[in-house]
Amino acid sequence: MKKIITLLCCLFSYLPFLHAQEEDQKTPHKIVYLGAGVGQEFGGFGMSAEVIPDPYVGIFLGGGYNLATPACSFGVSVKMLPKTRITPVFLAMYGYNAAVRYYEYNRIKGKSYYGFSFGIGTEIKLGRSQSKISLSLLYPFRSEEAKYALKGWNNKNVPPFTFGIGLHI
């Protein structure tokens, strides 16, 4: 009987070491985010949906109103440190990157221009929830037509970068 008790004690004392060798359970990452915000990735003032097939990559689609016309955009975000609370992000997208609003024959008209944009940003995770705030700084590659329209309708000093901010849940 003493041998069985000793064997069981040895076995039970060894079990925690076996458990310690297992890989830690990873918290599953969220697959889909829906958000609202302002910026190119939201189509102006609008909404965005992001699918995350891998913790390091996100694919987004946004649509909204840019004060001239309805607009949309889509692209890819590469998350450098996805497991941290503050995640640096690289963005590449195609979509609206300039808009003008003007009067023609006493009617308000608007036009959106589309092209590629690249930039950087950050995602800040909020507490224990999987919600996040996104901040972005994008450099739009504008067509010559868009550059001409912006110089003709706005001030001569159009900023070369655009900013974005949004809340994703």
CA pair distance 103, 130, nearest whole angstrom: 44
- At residue 113 the predicted structure's pLDDT band, cuts being 50, 70 and 90, is very high
CA pair distance 45, 66, nearest whole angstrom: 6
DSSP state of 47: E
pLDDT at site 38: 97
CA pair distance 130, 96, nearest whole angstrom: 28
Domain range holding 92?
Answer: 24-168
- At residue 76 the predicted structure's pLDDT band, cuts being 50, 70 and 90, is very high
> Is 1 within the bounds of a domain?
no
Closest CA to 134 of 12, 34, 30: 34
- Is residue 20 over pLDDT 70? no
DSSP state of 2: H
Number of domains present in the structure of the chain: 1
CA pair distance 92, 140, nearest whole angstrom: 10
> Is 73 within the bounds of a domain?
yes
Q: What would the pLDDT profile of 120-143 be if each residue is shown by its tens digit?
A: 999 999 988 889 999 999 999 998
> Is 138 within the bounds of a domain?
yes
Alpha helix (H) ranges present in the chain? 2-20, 144-153
Whether the Cβ atoms of residue 46 and residue 145 lie closer than 8 Å to each other:
no
- At residue 148 the predicted structure's pLDDT band, cuts being 50, 70 and 90, is confident
> Is 13 within the bounds of a domain?
no
Residue 115 corresponds to which tokens in the numbers above? 């092209």
pLDDT at site 17: 45
pLDDT at site 151: 78
- Is residue 16 over pLDDT 50? no
> Is 2 within the bounds of a domain?
no
> Is 5 within the bounds of a domain?
no
Q: How many CB atoms lie within 10 A of CB 26?
A: 8
Strand partners of residue 77? 58, 91
DSSP state of 107: E
Q: What would the pLDDT profile of 33-58 be if each residue is shown by its tens digit?
A: 999 999 999 999 999 999 999 999 99
pLDDT at site 23: 47
> Is 52 within the bounds of a domain?
yes
User: How much is the pTM?
Assistant: 0.77
CATH (domain of 88): 2.40.160.20
Backbone angles phi, psi at 139, to 5 degrees: -110, 110
- At residue 92 the predicted structure's pLDDT band, cuts being 50, 70 and 90, is very high
> Is 16 within the bounds of a domain?
no
